[in-house]
Amino acid sequence: RRARIHYPPLRDKVTDAGTAAAHIQDGTNLFISGFTSGYPKLVPRELVRRAQAGEEFKVNLFAGASTGESVDGILAEAGVVAWRRPYMSDRTMRRLINDNQIRFKDDHLSMLSGQVRAGNWGPVDVAIVEAVAITEDGNLIPTMSVGNTPTYVKKADKIIIEITHEPEELYGLHDIFIPEDPPYRMPIPIYRAADRIGKPHIDMDPSRVVAILFSEEEDCCAVFTPPDQAARRIAEHILDFVRHEISKKRLPASLPWQSGVGDVANAVLSGFLEDDFYHNLDIYSEVLQDSVLDLIDMGTVRVASGSAMTLSYKGRQRFFNELYRYKDKIVLRPVEISNSPEVIRRLGVIAINTAIEVDIYGHVNSTHVMGSQLMNGIGGSGDFLRNGALTFIVTPSTAKGDRISAIVPMVSHVDHNEHSVDIIVTEHGLVDTRPLTPRQVAEQVITTCAHPDYREMLWEYYQRAIHANGGHEPHDLSEVFAMHQRFLRTGSMRKDC
């Protein structure tokens, strides 16, 4: 594996996890690679070992986005995380954040790298980066994600590298470009989803590398289950609607697509496979999953751009075996480029993102259950919803065995507002809010998107709000959260419980 270090002076830095982790002490600002995949594994495990041996320390942990059980999960469980930013999705870490034992602040993913370069997150004491190789010039070839790694490497005082056994032929998959910072920044020159504007490696100052480890570990592979009935219905509504808009010439057929992660995203992408209307598509998204490989193989997708690939075990084998074929069609970029508001606007992305709840006027909560409990974070949903050419917000109409309505009078936490949301979709139907007044939106969302069991309750609320207060977006503040309060009191939003 030493042959993966093509810059000979760095070969002396090969060491063991204990020596590498000694650079991390109480209060270290620790910036790691990783964006659903491509995160370091050995040093986090060593930190857990130290904590279990009785050492008392806490680090401030910054990643690209979620890193899963093998980093966020074990570090949270070991009690060594003081701060965590940004998006995470691990159950243990979520519990500790909601218990106020880990400090967490949510950010738009496109903004982070710039904030770190500006110094707003404090000094970058140590960066730990997973890579497949170090080039002859001492630069880094990342693995399956890019995220914020180029900026973390640029700003770090000390760099620790975990070299994996994933194929070195990943070289050429990545397009690394760090945009200028304010003031007077120049445009990011992406004009088509496939454009490559940067370098195939991450620039690195080799003199800051303090340790190199060889890793046999793999990312926890994603497990994909077939989309359920609600997700399939939501996907059908979206694909029918876009087909209709294209056939009426209100939407160019060539706009690129972004789709979040999860059931509905998979259902939409599977829907493309079964629908010969859609072909030669571009994807300009954040995370690319197995379905993208299928769509490339079918010729439905021409090119897919993202910041990371999250594949199942089978998907990884398939991708690595046929890298030569996929490398021409897939580009991985820093998240400040994959999610750049400027580029998303220019390309005219069709964006689909999932909500926890949506209110009758189209305001969206993507992050907090019952207003208080953090779920995961805003991720890239704000980057795409605020800037896409056509934006969908989707959710099953109910949660927790129909005890919660995802359509509510007023969202209990606001991530996206009515001005960013074009189309609201549940399994029951779709409302295009663009030509409607807020009152028309409310009427259609209640009668089309809400679950039938909750329509009367929502309609009665809306009528009472009109009669009590009237106005452009009528609300009755004395009972606007009655459904949420009933759930907190009885375990259900239904009146009969």
Which residues carry out catalysis? Answer: 286
Of 109 and 153, CB closest to ligand 0RQ: 109
Q: How many residues at the interface with ligand 0RQ, by CB under 6 A?
A: 27
Please state whether beta strands 81-85 and 103-104 pair in parallel, antiparallel, or not at all (unpaired).
parallel
Stretch that binds ligand 0RQ, among 29-37, 179-187, 313-321, 371-379 (CB under 6 A): 371-379
Question: Under the criterion CB under 6 A, does residue 267 sit at the interface with ligand 0RQ?
Answer: no
Phi, psi of 407 (to 5 degrees): -100, 120
Instruction: Using the minimum distance from each CB to ligand 0RQ, give the nearer residue, 29 or 37.
Output: 37
CA distances from 375 to 90, 169, 369, 483 (A): 9, 37, 7, 20
By C-beta, is 21 or 268 nearer to ligand 0RQ? 268
Compare residues 155 and 363 and give the one whose CB is closer to ligand 0RQ. Answer: 363
Q: What is the spatial distance between Cα 54 and Cα 73, in angstroms, rounded to a whole number?
A: 19
d(CA 173, CA 491): 48
State the binding string over 389-408 for ligand 0RQ (x if CB under 6 A, else -).
Answer: -------x--xx---x-x--
Instruction: List CB contacts of 128: < 8 A, sequence separation 6 or more.
Output: 30, 31, 32, 33, 40, 43, 44, 159, 160, 161, 162
**Which of 210, 356, 424, 445 is the binder for ligand 0RQ (CB under 6 A)?**
356
Nearer to ligand 0RQ, 106 or 476 (CB): 106
Cβ 366 to ligand 0RQ shortest distance, Å: 4
Least distance CB 488 / ligand 0RQ (angstroms): 11
Q: Which stretch binds ligand 0RQ (CB under 6 A): 122-130, 173-181, 254-262, 271-279?
A: 254-262
Minimum distance of ligand 0RQ from residue 365's CB (angstroms): 8
Q: Nearer Cβ to ligand 0RQ, position 287 or 292?
A: 287
Q: Binding to ligand 0RQ by residue 286, rule CB under 6 A? A: yes
Report the residue from 138, 147, 150, 260 that binds ligand 0RQ according to the rule CB under 6 A.
260
Q: Is 262 in the site for ligand 0RQ (CB under 6 A)?
A: yes
CA distances from 114 to 342, 375, 392, 411 (A): 14, 25, 27, 30
Bond before 44 cis per omega within 30 degrees? no
Instruction: Name the minimum Å distance from CB 341 to ligand 0RQ.
Output: 12
Q: Using the rule CB under 6 A, is 343 a contact of ligand 0RQ?
A: no
Only one of the segments 42-50, 178-186, 206-214, 380-388 lies at the binding site for ligand 0RQ (rule: CB under 6 A); that segment is 380-388
Decide: is 90 part of the binding site for ligand 0RQ (CB under 6 A): no
* List of residues contacting ligand 0RQ (CB under 6 A): 258, 260-263, 285-287, 353-357, 366, 369, 375-376, 378-381, 384, 396, 399-400, 404, 406
